[in-house]
Amino acid sequence: MAAPPHSRRTHSQDKDDYRMRSTSKTGLALAGLLLSANALACDTILPANQIGISAPGKYCLSGNRSLPIEINGTDIELDCRTRTLVNPSTGGGPGGGVGIMVRGGGKVVVRNCRVDGFANGIQADVGSGAQLLNNTVLRAQDTPIIIHGNPFGPPDPQAEPARIVGNRVIGYGGDQANWGPALRVHGLPRAVIANNVVAGYRGRGGLELGESPDAQLTGNQFLDFEAGHRMIQFINSPRARVVHNTIMSRQPIGEGLTGAVDATCVENVFINVQPSGFAGCSVARYNVEQPQPPTGP
């Protein structure tokens, strides 16, 4: 029996449907490109001889530079576009030995910067919603990344959490052991500290988290330490979530977690760290520690 007339489709109708689907896909692709271009937009190329930034806006670098950068204000975004700030002075150079300094930084974003040879790579006193994204600090002599909340009062529990995501601290090539931990985070409740990598570091630990309750530590890697006493240290920072982090060293380097009060510790891998510190977590599941601690005589 022949199909009813209304169920038949002509070749012309099929071609029209194909054109409509193609047009829709092209429109979505163009919209995605426009959104990406807007995300990467830059209001101002920072001149090579300018140190200070105070007006709100998006700033970019067009080349490497041998001067530090100081951000004093809010609603400021600095995108270095993988350019490098190199310290030419063995004494720390201009800016007090800090590669990128942030003061009063509510809604401040620092991304895609390489900071080489400063005592402190990135030092930030920040307000609500600050972000350090995809930066690299090399050959710091003191503490590579320092980020503090309100230095003049108690942390604001209603502030938008700070995000410290995708940064790298590389210790290889340094002349001496560092004084501080690779990352020092203080006064930032609910901070998101995720997917950061610390490799070949010669300082006193990987992360120091102080006065920062309810922080989330996810997917961070602490690799090939040459020294270290406390790899992840909590100071008055209860209820942290410690998930999918890795500590791996070629030789024993000291304690894994300390001060983990009411912490949830799930699926972390700690190699050559003794003790691991998982026993101090209120919830500990599926964590791997090698070698296993001794169980008895």
The total domain count for the chain is: 1
Please state, in angstroms and rounded to a whole number, the distance separating the CA atoms of residues 21 and 217.
43
Cα–chain center distance at 181: 15
- Which amino acid does the sequence have at 218? T
Residue 201 lies in a domain: yes
Torsion, CA 61, CA 62, CA 68, CA 69, rounded to 10: -20
Cβ neighbours of 160 (radius 10 Å): 14
For CA atoms 42, 38, 78, 138, the dihedral sign is negative
Helix (H) or strand (E) holding 112: none
Residue 297 lies in a domain: no
CA-CA distances (angstroms) from residue 33 to 27, 74, 114, 194, 216? 10, 28, 26, 27, 32
Please state, in angstroms and rounded to a whole number, the distance separating the CA atoms of residues 35 and 49.
31
pLDDT at 93 (0 to 100)? 46
List the end-to-end C-alpha distance of the chain, in Å, as a whole number: 87
Q: Which residues constitute the domain of residue 75? A: 42-290
pLDDT at 36 (0 to 100)? 43
Closest residue by Cα to residue 76 from 108, 41, 43: 108
Residue 87 lies in a domain: yes
Per-residue pLDDT of the chain (297 residues; tens, 9 = 90+): 554 544 455 666 666 665 655 555 555 555 554 444 445 679 999 999 999 999 999 999 999 999 999 999 999 999 999 999 999 875 444 445 999 999 977 899 999 999 999 999 999 999 889 999 999 999 998 999 999 996 556 656 677 999 999 999 998 876 666 778 999 999 999 999 999 999 998 888 999 999 999 999 999 999 998 766 789 999 999 999 999 999 998 778 888 999 998 999 999 999 998 899 999 999 999 999 987 655 555
Cα–chain center distance at 6: 60
Residue 37 lies in a domain: no
Closest residue by Cα to residue 100 from 128, 63, 134, 137: 137
Beta bridge partners of 52: 70
Question: What's the angle, vertex CA 156, arms to CA 221 and CA 242, rounded to 5?
Answer: 25
Helix (H) or strand (E) holding 20: helix 11-39
pLDDT at 274 (0 to 100)? 84
Residue 6 lies in a domain: no
For residues 113 and 80, is the Cβ–Cβ distance under 8 A? yes
Residue 109 lies in a domain: yes
pLDDT at 94 (0 to 100)? 45
Residue 122 lies in a domain: yes
Residue 295 lies in a domain: no
Please state, in angstroms and rounded to a whole number, the distance separating the CA atoms of residues 193 and 286.
21
- Rg of the chain over Cα atoms, rounded to whole angstroms, equals 24
